[in-house]
Amino acid sequence: MQLIFTDPRFRLVWLAGVAANVSGFTFWVVQGWLTLTVTDSPFWLGAAVGISGLGMVLFSIPGGVLADSADRRKVAGFSMLASGVVVAILAVPTFAHSERLWQILAASFLLGATGALSAPAFTALTLDVVGRRKLLSANAANFAALGLGGAAMPVAAAFIVDSWGAEWALTVAAVSFALGAGFLLTLPDLDPVATPAETRGESRWKALRRGTTYVFTTAHVRALILMGLVGEMFGWAHIWMLPAMARDVLGSGVNGFGYLASAGFGGLLVATVAISSLGDVRHKGRLLVGGGIGFGFFIILFATSRSFPLSVVLLATAYGLGTVYELSLGTLVQTVVPDHMRGRVISFQALTWGANGLSGFHTGAVAERLGAPWAVAIGAIVMLAYVLGLAPHASRLEEHGGEGPMPGAQEP
C-alpha cells in the first residue's frame, strides 16, 4: 500500500481505479435493483449481467491488441470516459421514470464493451509503472481500491436509490467514470515497451493471431487462463444473485442487498491489506489453490444460510479467501509472459471477466427453476471441485515459474 504514497505515477493509476470501482459498484446496484423491479424475474436479473458479459467477451481480445499497440493511458482513459457517457444516457429515462428493460440491457452491453477495451490497458499499465518486483504489492493496492469501492458503494448506492431514486445513483456513477478518465489522461509519459524486431510494424490482425497462438500453445499460460475462467464462470457467478438472495431468501430489501455486497468486499479489503504487507510472496501457486478452496467452501455455506447476520459473516470470509486466489492468479498471469505480449495475454483474462457476466444467463436460469440458493451453491461446487483437482500440482507453478503442463492444459 505504501506505493500509493511513494510513487506519484502509480497514485494516479490507483485513483483512477478507485473512481472506476465507485462507478462500477454503483451501476451494479442500480442495474440489479432496476431489473428486478421492472421484471420481477431472477432470469432477467442474471440475463442483464449476461448481456454485459457478452459485450466484454466480444471486445476483450481487440482490447488486448490495442493495449499492446497503442498508448495504454489513452486506451484506458477514453474507454472509461465512454463508460461515463453510457451511464449518463441511461440516467435520462430514469429521471423521467420511464426506464425499460431494453434500455438497461443496452447500457449493460455497452458498459461490457467499454470495460473490455479498458481492462487490458489499465491492468498492463500497472506493471509499466511499478515494474515486476513491486507488482504483487501494486496489484494488492488495486485490489484495495476494489475493496474500498465494494465495501462503501453498495450501501451508499442502495441508500441513494432508496432515498432519492436510481437516477441520482446513475449520476454519481457517470461523474466518477469521468474523474477516473481524467486521472489516467494526466498520467506522465511512460517509457515505451520494447518489442522484438520481428514483430515491429506488424498489422493488428497479425498481432491478434500471434497473441492468440501464444496463449493457446503455452501450457502454463493456458492453465492460468483456464483457472480464471472456471473461477469467474462458476465461483463468482453468485454475485449476480445477491439481490434475489437479499429480497427473497433473507427477507431484506435494497438496503439489505447493499449490506451483503459491502460485507463481502469489506472482507476483500481486509485480505488485500494483509497480503500487501507481505511483499513479494514466493509460493503464489499454493496461495492460488488454498484461496480457491476456501472461497468455494464458504460460498456454499453462504448459499445454505437463512440468517442475515450469518450470511454477512460468511460472505466476508469467502471474499477474503477469494482475494488470495485472485491476487495470486493475476500476478502470475502478468509475470510469466514477455512484456510485449502482456496486453494480449491480459485480454484473455479480461475475457474470463466477461465470462463472469455471461454466467448470469445460467445462474439466472437455475435460480428461476430451483431458486437463488441452488444457483449460488451449484456454481461454488463446480469451482471447488476443479480447484481440489488442481491442488496436487500447485507447486509446479512455483518451482518452475509456471512452466510445464497442468491439468486441463496439456501440450499440443
- Domain extent listing, the chain: 3-186+204-399
pLDDT of residue 198: 47
**Nearest alpha carbon to residue 236 among 49, 42, 390:** 49
409 has which bridge partners? 406
pLDDT tens over the chain, length 412 residues: 667 777 788 888 888 988 998 888 889 888 888 888 888 888 888 888 888 888 888 888 788 778 777 788 888 899 999 999 999 999 998 888 888 888 999 999 999 899 888 888 888 788 777 776 777 677 777 777 777 777 778 788 888 888 898 889 999 999 999 999 999 888 876 655 544 444 445 666 677 777 788 888 877 778 788 888 898 889 998 988 888 898 889 988 778 888 888 888 888 888 877 776 665 566 677 778 888 999 999 999 999 999 999 999 999 999 999 988 888 887 777 776 776 777 777 778 777 877 777 888 888 889 888 999 999 999 999 999 988 887 776 666 544 433 334 334 333 3
C-beta separation of 379 from 318 below 8 A:
no
What's the pTM? Answer: 0.69
Helices (H), 164-241: 166-185, 204-217, 219-233
Work out the angle between the directed axes of helices 372-390 and 42-69 (0-180°, nearest 10).
Answer: 40
The one-letter amino acid code at 103 reads Q
Phi, psi of 409 (to 5 degrees): -140, 50
Closest alpha carbon to 22 in 166, 154, 139: 154
CB of 136 closer than 8 Å to CB of 127: no
pLDDT at 289: 84
Please choose, from the candidates 348, 333, 402, the residue with its C-alpha nearest in 3D space to the C-alpha of residue 67.
348
* CATH code that applies to domain 3-186+204-399: 1.20.1250.20
Res 1: pLDDT:
60
Q: What is the DSSP letter of 189?
A: P
> Is the dihedral angle over the CA atoms 404, 406, 409, 411 positive or is it negative?
positive
DSSP SS3 for 127: helix
Whether the Cβ atoms of residue 16 and residue 122 lie closer than 8 Å to each other: yes
pLDDT of residue 203: 64
Q: Using alpha carbons, select from 113, 190, 401 the residue that is nearest to residue 285.
A: 401
pLDDT at 194: 47
213 three-state secondary structure: helix
28-83 residue pLDDT tens: 888 888 888 888 888 888 888 888 888 888 888 788 778 777 788 888 899 999 99
> Please, how many CA atoms are within 13 Å of residue 256, restricted to the half-sphere of its CB?
16
Task: Residue 290: name the closest of 258, 341, 325 by CA.
Answer: 325
